[in-house]
Structure 1
Amino acid sequence: MSQVLHTPPPTPAPADDDLAALAARHGLSVSGARPSLPEYVRQLWARRHFISAFATAKLTSQYSQAKLGQVWQVMTPLLNAAVYYFIFGVLLDTKRNVPDYIPFLVTGVFIWTFTQSSIMSGTRAISGNLGLVRALHFPRAALPISFALQQLQQLLFSMCALVVILLCFGVPVAASWVLAVPALILQFTFNAGVAMIMARLGAKTPDIAQLMPFVLRTWMYISGVMWSIERLTGQHKGLPSWVAPVLKANPPAVYIDLMRYSLIDSFKASQLPPHVWALATGWALVAGVVGFIYFWKAEETYGRG
């Protein structure tokens, strides 16, 4: 007698709606899902102590292997300024007709280095910290913001040397020095926004970090770090009329000019681009808001793949 085996019909796979309802019923949510923008801001604010502690720890460990230790926080921009003074100030004679050229140059170098280092470290914020990103759950924007904060802390150390240089070269202490505080706040906001944009791009394409030094070097040369935009464009009358306004409205040039105007008495308001505070605020808001939203949009992709 033959025995007939009956294979039970396959059980249909549950629909996505059924799985979503089952997960919701048991209080489950998608792992790593992107929160809403207000919730993301709230989570980021809740981790503000982590951001500041992480920035301080990175700054402390940066020169831990060097014998001079934290002295390099001041020595590095000073040595860069010395090299630029020899090449541009002496050999190319850009110091001619620029009052207080050494304070002018050192201020430009310090403020530019703040932007340059923030962008470079932001580019590697995700791709260079994949172990941390994959191991812990936290708003990923904390990383590029903490790197920008680290560079701000380093700049504040350098500002001590800058004040000494200003006094040694006869620049008096003035009430305008207080303007350096809002100028730095605006520049930090701009730097953090650009750092978040570059962090997202660098997370997807790590090779961007190799390209950025060339981009930043070109950006430095057109930002008036070593020379006066106003005097150079005034000397070259053959330049198109739009060149000078565009160079003066360039974000790093705006923040450098603001700091020079705040600290150096020979740098007059006539050398600033029109509506300079509006420009500085506009660049900070555009970079900060656009950079934050652009980074948040890809929150759930960081550390995957």
Structure 2
Amino acid sequence: MRLRNSIELIFYKTYTDLKAESERSYLGFLWWIIEPIFYLSAFYILQVLVMRRDGTDFVPFFLCGAVVWKWFDSGVKGGGHAISIHRGLLQQVYVQKFVFPVITVMGSTARFIPVFGIFCLFLLLYGTPVKITWLAAPLLFATQLCLTLSLALLISSITPFLPDLKVAIDNAMLLLFFISGVFFNINEVHEPVRSYLLVNPMAGLIDEYRNIMLRGAWPNLDRIGIIILTSLGMGGLGLALLKQLDHKYGKIPF
């Protein structure tokens, strides 16, 4: 019964948070699209107009990686700090702690879906034909959701006890951004560097998104399987820590 109540709370709180966010501005839900457009435009100006990386395929290549990364970045950062953010509530009522990072990740996922739809529309307007491999997108969505949620659970279980970890996480995510292949093709990197870079699950996921969306190739199921298994391991550890430390979070002087 407690699990059922937690699931209901996750869906209700995700909905109310998204609704409240949209009502705080005149443009409402449009900011979910406008904000990523600003984000992508900044890197487009840097890469194409300033650095003149204007090959025919670079724009969709870059946008594919940037759109996917934005979801991962917002989900991990927001979910990882979710328990700390709700410190006031924790000291008043009891709520299973995994609920908070899950709510945050679900919210970032809801914002990602329309942005990815805009990206698909861009590809069509850019001249990229619809490919049968686009049907594999839900598999990659599920894989990335699993990875993002697992990392958020693991980080959120530790961050309340180590406040300085927030700075370390922000810098680690910045490093991952530059080595995940957003700006370059991971397949063109020489060995053994390529193998080292692929230890980062997002490097492989971004490459798989480009496979299905741009190259017309089906995803590598072995790679997807490894990412899912790794994610389940991290998520399981995060849930175990959250359960073990459950009653200590409300006593932390945040």
**Alignment partner, residue 249 of structure 2:** 302
1:57 partnered with 2:16: yes
Contact 1:187-1:284 at 8 Å conserved across structures = no
**Alignment partner, residue 63 of structure 2:** 106
Contact 2:64-2:119 at 8 Å conserved across structures = yes
Cα distance, 1:100 vs. partner? 2.7
**Rounded Cα–Cα distance in structure 2 between residues aligned with 1:149 and 1:90:** 35
Cα distance, 1:166 vs. partner? 1.2
Structure 1: 5+ residue stretches without partners = 1-41, 235-240
1:180 partnered with 2:113: no
The one-letter code of the counterpart of 2:69 is W
**TM-score for the superposition, normalised by structure 1:** 0.75
1:175-208 Cα shifts (integer Å, max 9, x gaps): 2112111111111111111111211222112232
1:277 to 224, 234, 247: 224
1:255 to 205, 214, 230: 205
Structure 2: 5+ residue stretches without partners = none
Cα distance, 1:94 vs. partner? 4.6
Q: Size of the alignment, in residue pairs? A: 252
Cα distance, 1:219 vs. partner? 0.9
**Rounded Cα–Cα distance in structure 1 between residues aligned with 2:159 and 2:212:** 35
1:80 partnered with 2:39: yes
Contact 2:76-2:151 at 8 Å conserved across structures = yes
Closer, same or farther: CA 185–214 of 1 in aligned 2, 3 Å:
same
Determine helix, strand or coil for the equivalent of 1:292.
Answer: helix
Contact 1:117-1:151 at 8 Å conserved across structures = yes
Contact 2:154-2:235 at 8 Å conserved across structures = no
Larger radius of gyration: 1
Cα distance, 1:224 vs. partner? 0.7
Cα distance, 1:83 vs. partner? 1.4
Contact 1:112-1:220 at 8 Å conserved across structures = yes
1:46-81 Cα shifts (integer Å, max 9, x gaps): 421210121222223335333322211112222221
**Rounded Cα–Cα distance in structure 2 between residues aligned with 1:124 and 1:79:** 24
The one-letter code of the counterpart of 2:202 is P
Closer, same or farther: CA 227–45 of 1 in aligned 2, 3 Å:
farther
The answer to which structure has the higher helix fraction is 2
1:291 to 223, 235, 238: 238
The one-letter code of the counterpart of 2:105 is A
**Alignment partner, residue 195 of structure 2:** 245
**Rounded Cα–Cα distance in structure 1 between residues aligned with 2:45 and 2:107:** 29
Alignment of 1:42-191 (within 5 A): 43-94=2-53, 96=55, 100-191=57-148
**Rounded Cα–Cα distance in structure 2 between residues aligned with 1:185 and 1:274:** 13
Closer, same or farther: CA 203–273 of 1 in aligned 2, 3 Å:
same
1:116-154 Cα shifts (integer Å, max 9, x gaps): 111111232111111222222221101111111111111
Determine helix, strand or coil for the equivalent of 2:94.
Answer: coil
Closer, same or farther: CA 273–186 of 1 in aligned 2, 3 Å:
closer
